[in-house]
């Protein structure tokens, strides 16, 4: 399918990043999968080559390039190389954490944190989920009590991406435990803060090289100057930034689906059964026809939302639609493509097997797909402005 989303500058960037993935990630991916985390030297190398913090303004050391299509290119290349686990430290840093440090910070905070975000000296993380609070952010129990010029944090977080390697983490806390959403705030906690600790390095069935951990706060004293925005504004900030996060996951999902489908088409052309190519069998043709069509249609929708995001016109409901639809489609594509591989699809050395495990979490994080449908359903029940697009 022909796409007109990118310009020549994006394709030049793609060629550079593809070379980076080939030289700096692919040779080490298996080692990092076994270790459960990447070597931070790779992350710093990404910064040196201009693949981190592209949206950071020039006065803070960045290129000031807020074009989200560069983020799309990075995600696409990681999926096509089947190393999304090792590369997620980059996509989370750029797509998900950075917007908080661009849109909710003071001049002093930006001057402190953004230069390291560009160079790779500072790896970012965001911490919302708790053992007893997932999609329901109002149920967060980690507290931050004001004590003079500091906040004192107590509580625990789990499923934190970049949780072991992070140098800075945006933490969702309750500054007013008596309130639900209105009591939620965001505080930046830096590694080395007394009372802040990294817990278990969590073992997952997929994305094994993507560092995931527990975090603990025991009377952790964090400067009040690390509060993002005003107390009680955290929920609104999270909601604004979740739209881009869900769009980023949609980009990853549709690219992952297309990559698996392409690998499977190649396999079916080469594999012989009953004296003929697997791709010549009617069932194989029909399956591939269905998946090829569905993937192309979803790609058009995702590209449409990327364009809207570039103009500031992406709303949470459409991001939710893309997130649930593309991640469910990815599950279907990967599952049916694995079936076409037969027994080889169950072997780890085949890329479809890794993709099968890596893709499973897509319908869960950044809000489960059940939550996505709830968001969409509410917008249908209570349309803004009295009409629906």
Nearest of 154, 125, 146 to residue 227 by alpha carbon: 146
* 113 and 65 Cβ atoms separated by less than 8 Å: no
Neighbouring residues of 380: CB distance < 8 A, sequence distance ≥ 6: 388
Instruction: Say if residue 386's pLDDT is above 60.
Output: no
45, 149, 182, 359 from 356: Cα distances, Å? 29, 49, 39, 6
Nearest of 270, 387, 287 to residue 339 by alpha carbon: 287
Neighbouring residues of 239: CB distance < 8 A, sequence distance ≥ 6: 316
Instruction: Say if residue 328's pLDDT is above 50.
Output: yes
CA 89 to chain centre: 9
Q: Which residue has the higher pLDDT, 89 or 135?
A: 89
* 53 and 118 Cβ atoms separated by less than 8 Å: yes
* 335 and 356 Cβ atoms separated by less than 8 Å: yes
**pLDDT band at residue 385 under the 50/70/90 scheme:** low
pTM above threshold 0.85: yes
**pLDDT band at residue 388 under the 50/70/90 scheme:** very low
pLDDT at 177: 82
Domains and CATH numbers, the chain: 8-122 (1.10.540.10), 126-232 (2.40.110.10), 235-386 (1.20.140.10)
- Would you state the structure tokens that stand for residue 297, as one six-digit string? 């249609």
Strand ranges, E, within the chain: 124-127, 143-147, 150-161, 168-174, 184-190, 196-201, 212-223, 227-228, 272-273, 276-277
Low-confidence winner among 153-167, 184-198, 230-244, 279-293 (lowest mean pLDDT):
230-244
Pairing of strands 124-127, 168-174: parallel
Of the residues 33, 130, 245, 317, only one is catalytic, namely 245
pLDDT in tens, 204-244: 999 999 999 999 999 999 999 999 999 989 889 988 899 99
Give the whole-angstrom CA distance, residue 171 versus residue 9: 35
Q: Which residue has the higher pLDDT, 10 or 181?
A: 10
pLDDT at 2: 79
Taking every pair of C-alpha atoms in the chain, what is the biggest distance, in angstroms? Answer: 79
Give the whole-angstrom CA distance, residue 297 versus residue 318: 15
**pLDDT band at residue 384 under the 50/70/90 scheme:** low
* 201 and 36 Cβ atoms separated by less than 8 Å: yes
Give the whole-angstrom CA distance, residue 379 versus residue 42: 42
- Active site annotation includes 387: no
* 192 and 221 Cβ atoms separated by less than 8 Å: no
Provide φ and ψ at 65, rounded to 5°.
-105, 95
pLDDT at 95: 96
- What is the average pLDDT across 21-46? 97
113, 282, 325, 381 from 246: Cα distances, Å? 24, 37, 11, 22
**pLDDT band at residue 183 under the 50/70/90 scheme:** confident
């Amino acid at each position: 399918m022909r796409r007109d989303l990118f310009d020549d500058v994006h394709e030049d960037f793609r060629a550079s990043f593809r070379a980076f993935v080939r030289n700096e990630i692919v040779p080490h991916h298996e080692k990092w999968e076994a270790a459960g985390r990447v070597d931070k030297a790779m992350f710093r190398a990404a910064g040196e080559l201009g693949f981190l913090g592209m949206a950071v303004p020039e006065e803070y050391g960045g290129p000031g390039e807020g074009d989200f299509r560069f983020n799309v290119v990075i995600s696409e290349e990681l999926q096509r190389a089947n190393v999304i686990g090792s590369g997620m430290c980059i996509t989370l840093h750029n797509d998900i954490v950075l917007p908080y440090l661009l849109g909710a910070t003071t001049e002093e905070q930006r001057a402190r944190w953004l230069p390291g975000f560009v160079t790779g000296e500072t790896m970012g993380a965001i911490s919302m989920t708790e053992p007893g609070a997932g999609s329901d952010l109002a149920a967060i129990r980690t507290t931050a009590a004001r004590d003079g010029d500091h906040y004192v944090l107590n509580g625990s977080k789990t499923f934190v991406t970049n949780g072991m390697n992070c140098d800075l983490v945006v933490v969702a806390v309750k500054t007013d435990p008596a309130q639900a959403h209105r009591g939620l705030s965001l505080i930046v906690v830096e590694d080395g803060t007394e009372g802040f600790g990294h817990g278990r390095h969590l073992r997952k069935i997929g994305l094994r090289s993507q560092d995931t951990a527990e975090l603990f706060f025991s009377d952790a004293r964090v400067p009040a100057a690390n509060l993002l925005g005003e107390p009680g504004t955290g929920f609104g900030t999270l909601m604004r930034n979740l739209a881009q996060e869900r769009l980023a996951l949609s980009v990853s999902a549709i690219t992952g689906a297309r990559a698996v489908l392409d690998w499977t088409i190649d396999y079916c052309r080469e594999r012989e059964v009953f004296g003929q190519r697997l791709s010549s069998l009617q069932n194989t043709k029909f399956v591939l026809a269905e998946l090829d069509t569905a993937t192309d249609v979803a790609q058009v929708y995702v590209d449409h939302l990327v364009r809207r995001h570039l103009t500031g016109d992406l709303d949470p409901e459409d991001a939710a639609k893309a997130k649930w639809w593309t991640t469910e489609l990815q599950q279907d594509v990967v599952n049916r493509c694995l079936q076409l591989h037969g027994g080889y699809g169950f072997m780890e050395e085949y890329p479809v097997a890794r993709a099968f495990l890596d893709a499973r979490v897509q319908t869960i994080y950044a809000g489960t797909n059940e939550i996505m449908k709830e968001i969409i359903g509410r917008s249908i029940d209570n349309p803004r402005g009295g009409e629906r697009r």
